[in-house]
Amino acid sequence: MKIKYPINDFKIGESWRLFKIMGEFVEGIDSLHDLGPAVSIFGSARTKPQNHYYKKTVQIAGLFAQAGYSVITGGGGGIMEAANKGAAKKGGESVGLNIVLPFEQVPNKYATRQIEFNYFFIRKVMFIKYAQAYIAIPGGFGTLDEFFEALTLVQTNRIRPVPIILVGTKYWNGLFQWIKDQLINEKMISKKDLDLFHLLDDPEKIVETVVEFHNK
């Protein structure tokens, strides 16, 4: 037996969902409109404080704060916590764009601005809209999603060109080789698209790359 739902109830539910979406956009814009120069740092929520990349992220975020950049993260644990921690310790603005999830995502205590989202796509707009660079520390599906989202928007000229940096050549080299061996060889992208992002390890070089790009 099929259950029939009144079409009007569906329309009302969808209409209220649109208002919730609009409300999250308004809250995000109101909270970040005065942020100033910023970088978005992505990475795994599962990375522990003793991990090499956690420690490196603290250092990178601290250097960005000293260079006058705010740091934007997903507001959770792992690499996100490390980035918020590094920026806060150096007196920088430390932003956490937290997502409501049934597991894993718990807001970290180092964000000086904490905004909560129910919708991933609104949260990603805020990552992109208010950052002058995108820094991807080793992570999983979410990090890959955010990296390729930024890369696609720059490639298709939907946003202005900005530095996109993969931190950790050992971790990301397999992906980089696959892009060259498959996407380039199969002519899915152009060779010049490889210039849209960098593979770097040194924290000072990472910050220097961003600063030099914007000084031009």
Single-letter amino acid code for the residue at 203 = P
pLDDT tens by residue, 136-160: 999 999 999 999 999 999 999 999 9
pLDDT at 4: 53
Q: Which domains does the chain have, with CATH numbers?
A: 7-215 (3.40.50.450)
pLDDT at 32: 94
State how far the Cα of 125 lies from the Cα of 116, in Å rounded to an integer.
14
pLDDT tens by residue, 36-66: 999 999 999 999 999 999 999 999 999 999 9
pTM given for the model: 0.90
β-bridge partners, 42: 136
β-bridge partners, 200: 167
Contact between 83 and 73 (Cβ < 8 Å): yes
Task: Give me the long-range contacts of 28-34 (CB less than 8 A, separation at least 24).
Answer: 28/97, 28/115, 28/117, 28/122, 28/123, 28/125, 28/126, 31/113, 31/115, 32/95, 32/113, 32/115, 32/126, 32/129, 32/130
Question: Please, which pLDDT band fits residue 15 given cuts at 50, 70 and 90?
Answer: confident
Contact between 199 and 173 (Cβ < 8 Å): yes
